[in-house]
Amino acid sequence: MTIISRLKPLRHFLVAASVLLGTAACDNEPAAERPNQVLVFSKTAGFYHASIPQGIALVQALGQEHDFGVDTTTNAANFTEENLKNYAAVVFMNTTGDVLNAEQQADFERYIQAGGGFVGVHSATDTEYDWPWYGKLVGAYFNGHPNNPNVQDGMVDVVDKNFEGMGNFPDRWEHADEFYNFKNINPDIKPLLKMDESSYNGGTNGDDHPMAWYHEYDGGRAFYTNFGHTDETYAEPLYKEHFWGGLHWAMGGEQAPALNYEQVKSERVPAENRFEREMLAQGLNEPIAMEILPDDRIVIIERRGDIKMYHPDTKKISVIAHIPVFNGKYRDNRDAEEGLLGIALSPNYAQDHYVYLYYAPEGGAARNVLARYTLEGDNLDMNSKVEMLEVKTQRDECCHTGGSIAFDAQGNLYLSTGDNTNPFDSKSMKYNSNGYGPMNGTPGREAWDARRSSANTMDLRGKVIRIHPEADGSYTIPDGNLFPKDAKDARPEIYTMGHRNPYKISVDQKNGYLYWGDVGPDASTDSTGRGPRGYDELNQARKPGFFGWPMFVGNNRPYNHYDYQTGESGEPYDPKKPINDSPNNTGRKELPPVSPAFLYYPYAESPEFPIVGKGGRNAMAGPVFYSDLYQHTEGTFPAYFDGKLFGYDWIRGWVLIVTMDDEGNLEKLEPFMGSTKFNNPVDMKFDKNGTLYVLEYGNPRWFAANDNSGLSHIRYNAGNRTPVLAMSADKTVGAAPLTVQFNSEGTKDYDQDDLTYEWYFGSSNVASTEPNPSHTFDKPGVYKAMLQVTDAQGATATMEKEIMVGNARPEVTITVPNGNQTFYWDNRSLAYDVQVADKEDGTLADGKINPEDVYVTVNYLPDGYQPVAEGEQEEEALGHEAMMAQSQFAVGKRLLEGSDCRACHSNDQKSVGPAYLEVAKKYDDSEQAITLLANKIIKGGSGVWGEQAMPAHPQLSVSDASQIVRYIFSLDQQDNAMAPSKPAKGTLVLNDHQKRGNAATGDYVISATYTDKGANQITPLTGSNQLILRNPKLKAASADGPDNLFLYDVPGIGQIVVGMGGGYMVFKDIDLTDVNGITVGVSAPAEQTKGGDLELHLDKPDSPAIVKATVSTTEQMGMQQVNLPLSGQSGKHDLYFSFVGPAGQGLYAVSTVEFKVGTGNTTAMR
């Protein structure tokens, strides 16, 4: 356990002394007692309050005065059930942000339910917004505070003098502090102090503005005081009494009962490492949805019309049917989203074998249909088709199909449909939707008006339909839909309406609640004249309703009326009385009041639900789990998930567990398998055993097959866990003899078993039982190095790594002679030199390597260089893309040049065989095509391009043949067209950034690659290197190694670093050549910081400072600059910026660190 300070009460020492003197009782088992310790927790994930040390000191002083122990920590790992049992109360001392993970939250809930105590100080209400249980515990959430100044004098009304610590307060208490406004105030709190908002500026809670309170909550006790922003507060005698009274009450008072874990309700969160994920299949072609049959076979539908069957006995997938579907192009040449969209099994599948499909039929009228088929074995009987329902659409313009199907426990079928509306701007229109609600009523622009579909009561698009299928293939309307069965101006099939693209739905099989993810619009910012930015929604319908689109989005935020002819904005729509005033509306004009969104989030970070992250978005609804609905076997998910919804996001790749109360209200969001990367999950379902299957669309391409698409199976392991392996080698290629140091560091067993190691190096004999052996491969060849680890229970795990001996990888270096190798500056030339050395091919310097075989690129990355982690795909890392494309295709090119293929083929002219360009045009670049042609190259063949046979090439591996095919395909891929190479040695003027204005902050990447010719039957190898030249103005938050610092988000500025006395931040490997000064952007408002010195140390934090500047406090919040002049430094160093001042105090904030070059670029010292 990480403890900053531990103070023990005096009675602990008296007890120890009595034991030593032989006076302690030993005949009777002592009764269970409440612990006599408190834990002070001061972790911050947002703003750091400089007064935290004073708050901690107060608790420690009270511990000494009242004889109880005090532990202090910022480490959330201490929130385990085993550790929390040691405390009578836990103090959240000015915590901010999301400070506990799901496991820690559950253990803290259990602690409170066992009778534990909680004390929240000041910004404890600015903590854990994603955790409604905590919001009720602390009593309210922060909703802003006064500004200019934030700390004011005010009058506090004393409400309850009978509570402990309140007896000496006057009726009205004058106090200076930062007075919070609150939202979501728990009505059960018992106020002790309230603010008189007339006595200061900035209050928003009115006459009932509580500032300190207590209450009993969920089995425990909670006390909160808003006061504690300033250092001075903790020294006030009345405040000390107030704080001690609340703490003592929370600890249980004089007759404190013992903690009782028999009464807890919250389940402990299952450890992520107990979930075991197995990939069953990969390389699918746009998988969309699946169903699990009673015999465990899995039916998978792909958007292009294939229906596939996964067989668990053979672990293979086969195509069992094809539905002819429309999946071509729209009028603007965009790929159509239509196709085969939804599948569901009949609730009585075991008897009737009915399968329901929703799709866009090929040809004919623009429409989507819901059809029923019969599935017998692996045969989908195409003659059994019965069309049950038709949804009329348009196929000229993009987009939004919906198409998800689900059944409830009563046998009702739910079908989601999209708004079939074009969200994109049209060049032929002066005024467009611009990513806001599309409501263009201009004649001829019907496809840009979602009021004609989603908000139209006579249209089935943009809806969730609820019907009851009948045995004869017809359907009836169940009771309780949104509109009466005999309505003349509304379709009775409609259950919910006002949806944009409800792509995945599910129905709670116990309470019948409907869930769906609705993919939202693209606007990234709010607009005064148009309305709110776009939000995705994860929605819940406990009853039928109108959910707002296209007049509303998110939490019922209204769009404005908008004239597409003049560009003028009108009044916003009214969510209480929405009117569909579209000229394209054929249904009711007045719609039901808008139902609220359940969960909603934009592209940016969500203030309401920060756990969802930021970036692209595509919300989807998975199943609601109930353990009693499944057969319990090995792998069944635990009861912890009972009643919880599995929500997920196709783009962001996360899965969230949504916990609700008995009425269905949101209580908590937590990640499921948060460290697992799901590759665009598109469907998930539990099987009869309560284990989870996940269907993944894959990335990075839409409307195409992706290698990492697939089907995975997740089981819960309640018993012994298989060891988790880590295996590395210091080299995997090289000339013979090759000595390789292997390492198993990171291998672990979650059950703490002893492990045995067995290493195999190309044979079936155990070569070593050491964890980290070394092995020499004497002869050229390709070897499989395998590590097998076995735990004490006999569970084994293996991992392999390929070692290629006989060809050394080329070494590529990039140097900048006499220049700075870290930064670039405006209008400065850069001389560079690339050198290549290859053990088999020679070097550039000796002339044996042709300079034209060295590929050099220079790219400017506007968003900066981001190293790509193993297994990830970074679309915007242009430097990576250029280098990896060269590497990938150069290997194939080298293999092709070294083969006999050139005798019969050329790039663009037909010879004995077809031109490579013809081959590339004939096939798409899918993995299936690559595999097909790779096998043809290896095995030979004829008949595709004429009678001339292609000879076999059995010497090639599948991997090498695939590289050849990829190179051939690249010849016809404009996206893979390579930029011309720069010379291996030259001079550059880096000015691309200047085209982007003064705000440009990107990096330049100079990349160099060389692919050798291969040797000793080892495939050609690519050597590469990159030189990253950074913008000289660095963000302080990007520092490599902060110590005793805190990050804080400032609107309009971004993240800043708050430096604490005794802390430092370090930027590693910085070249100081030509740098004559460093300008640091700082802020030191006197209300929040102390000010202090800023020192620069080279290479070590305790080396002598080479320069120092003083940062003085200012009256107002704002940025200032301090300059650190440099003279005579050069070469690369680790730069330590040390914050010198009172230890543990917040000295000042740092925003930027800018490196200056030349003369006249520095500012005066402040």
Whether the bond between 771 and the residue before it is cis, its omega within 30 degrees of 0, is no
SS (HEC) of 230-287: CCHHHHCHHHHHHHHHHHHHHCCCCCCCCCCHHHCCCCCCCCHHHEEEEEEEECCCCE
List of E strands, 560-615: 560-562, 569-572, 599-601
Report strand pairing: 190-195 vs 182-183.
unpaired
**Six token digits for residue 607:** 């203030």
**DSSP 8-class letter at 163:** S
- Inter-residue contact 267 to 275 (CB < 8 Å): no
Cα 852 to Cα 731, 881, 892: the distances in Å are: 28, 20, 17
> What is the C-alpha to C-alpha distance for residues 531 and 535, in angstroms, rounded to an integer?
12
> What is the C-alpha to C-alpha distance for residues 547 and 784, in angstroms, rounded to an integer?
58
Question: For 386-391, which contacts have Cβ atoms below 8 Å and span 24 or more sequence positions?
Answer: 386/473, 388/356, 388/467, 388/469, 388/473, 388/474, 388/475, 389/415, 389/460, 389/465, 389/467, 389/475, 389/493, 391/367, 391/417, 391/460, 391/461
> What is the C-alpha to C-alpha distance for residues 993 and 395, in angstroms, rounded to an integer?
42
CB atoms within 10 A of CB 510: 14
Does the annotation list 905 as a binding residue?
yes
> What is the C-alpha to C-alpha distance for residues 831 and 988, in angstroms, rounded to an integer?
6
> What is the C-alpha to C-alpha distance for residues 950 and 399, in angstroms, rounded to an integer?
45
Question: For 934-937, which contacts have Cβ atoms below 8 Å and span 24 or more sequence positions?
Answer: 934/958, 934/961, 934/962, 934/964, 934/965, 935/961, 937/961, 937/964, 937/965
Helix (H, G, I), strand (E, B) or coil at 610: helix
Helix (H, G, I), strand (E, B) or coil at 463: strand
- Inter-residue contact 871 to 677 (CB < 8 Å): yes
Q: What is the CA radius of gyration of the chain?
A: 34
> What is the C-alpha to C-alpha distance for residues 445 and 1140, in angstroms, rounded to an integer?
65
- Inter-residue contact 419 to 453 (CB < 8 Å): yes
Helix (H, G, I), strand (E, B) or coil at 1068: strand
**Six token digits for residue 1165:** 């010292």
**Six token digits for residue 552:** 């509303």
* Residues shown for the chain: 1166
Does the annotation list 901 as a binding residue?
yes
Q: Alpha-carbon torsion 124, 126, 129, 132, what sign? A: positive
Q: Alpha-carbon torsion 79, 80, 81, 82, what sign? A: negative
List of E strands, 661-795: 666-671, 681-686, 692-696, 710-716, 728-729, 733-734, 738-743, 756-761, 774-777, 781-790
> What is the C-alpha to C-alpha distance for residues 1049 and 20, in angstroms, rounded to an integer?
54
DSSP 868-900: PPTT---TT-HHHHHHHHHHHHHHHHHHHHTSS
SS (HEC) of 81-130: HHHHCCCCEEEEECCEECCCCHHHHHHHHHHHHCCCEEEEEHHHHHECCC
Annotated binding site for heme c: 901, 905, 950
Annotated binding site: 901, 905, 950
